Amino acid sequence: MRSLINESVNLIRQDFSVSFSYGVYFTNKLFNTDNQLFSDLLKEGQNRRVNRVVFIIDSAVAKYHSNLADKIVKYCNHFPEIIEICGHPLVIEGGELAKNDIGLIKRIIQFIDDHSIDRHAYVVGIGGGAILDLVGFVAAIAHRGIRHIRIPTTVLSQNDAGVGVKNGINYLNKKNYLGTFVPPFAVINDSNFLHTLEDRDWRSGISEALKVALIRDFEFFNWIDDNVGNLVNRDLATMETLIYRCAKHHLLHIGTNGDPFEKGSSRPLDFGHWAAHKLEQLTHYQLRHGEAVAIGIALDVAYSHYIGLLDEKSMDRVHSCLLKLGFDIYHPLLSNSLGDHINPSLLDGLEEFREHLGGILTIMLIKQLGNGIEVNSMNQVSLDAAINNLRSKSI
């Protein structure tokens, strides 16, 4: 094809599109042999005589479900015509610090290579969001992409981190600096894993549901606020509803907003996250991601009020809901050493947030409950006022 630029340049332009499709399944006691969901999924995608699979399990999950690895082996052996489990499941340390450990990446790659796992086989990650991020990243780069199945085991990973298309690890002291956009083959949410969560982890994922409700769905926010008691008292049916509704919102956004791989400058689903990501780093990941997000939401809701977007009653209602759920809405590292202004190190999070995508700084705020609005700058005077408001409510 002759270029129109000038006569000395030739151009062959290649245009194609790729369709992605995956399911998020909700079940209970996935690896009981009378539950055929996992085997049916592999059978549906089968392109060889038998599906070869490796499993990688979060050590915290293995601790609280001590027979899980053996149960997985028994399950796979129950369907020999469909599943070939390759080696005993690999158990690795979970939590956000796992995403800082290059040695873990090498260990998982070695495990995959030891069992000759190829692009037509499966890597199954079982654990919280950090493990799913890590295992998904390795699956994406090994052989330029191995089929990956996510089995999230926490509230946060079942309603948010585990259902999307992103994988990543922390590098150069920056959260998710290395990563990929690779949709999973499938996501399977097993509510049985929720029974053994510590209270912090049960609560932590609720912040992601609040986040999506505040920017997209006022009725969902009302429902959360009305069901605070059930959520705090660990009513499983209520939590299952919250997870389903939150996951659905995340999937709708990924599939319908026109930017599933974040080519632009906007990340609406990261409402409250610019400060949260920096707080995680500043606390050396002593704050859970969901706990940091709760503080980030509280901060951006207050900031929305102080720049004239959100009325005071709505701001106070969000803060009250977070407090009733048991979240802190203020952390000392939000403020400088004198406590009267925003911590300069926290402000660095704004540039890191912008840099992660490039382009123009784009921050999601809210102008009313359930209705988000994007801005392209934040001013320190209003941030100082917002932080002082949070501190006054936390005394």
pLDDT in tens, 59-87: 999 999 999 999 999 999 999 999 999 99
Could you give the CA distance from residue 156 to residue 162 in angstroms, rounded to a whole number?
8
Query: Strand 363-368 relative to strand 371-375: parallel, antiparallel, unpaired?
Result: antiparallel
Could you give the CA distance from residue 327 to residue 295 in angstroms, rounded to a whole number?
8
Q: Which fold has domain 23-196?
A: Rossmann fold (3.40.50)
Contact between 372 and 365 (Cβ < 8 Å): yes
The CA-based dihedral angle spanning residues 338, 342, 344, 349, taken in that order and rounded to the nearest 10 degrees: 150
Residue 4: predicted pLDDT: 55
Domain with CATH 3.40.50.1970 in the chain: 23-196
Contact between 142 and 74 (Cβ < 8 Å): no
Dump pLDDT digits (tens) for 253-284: 888 877 787 777 678 889 999 999 999 999 99
**HSE on the CB side for 354, CA within 13 Å?**
12
This prediction has a pTM of 0.92
Residues with pLDDT less than 50, the chain: 1-3
Domain with CATH 1.20.1090.10 in the chain: 199-394
Could you give the CA distance from residue 229 to residue 235 in angstroms, rounded to a whole number?
9
Strand partners, 53: 85, 122
Angle between helices 236-256 and 218-226 (to 10 degrees): 160
Could you give the CA distance from residue 187 to residue 160 in angstroms, rounded to a whole number?
11
Residue 1: predicted pLDDT: 45
Domain 199-394 bears CATH identifier 1.20.1090.10:
yes
Residue 295: predicted pLDDT: 98
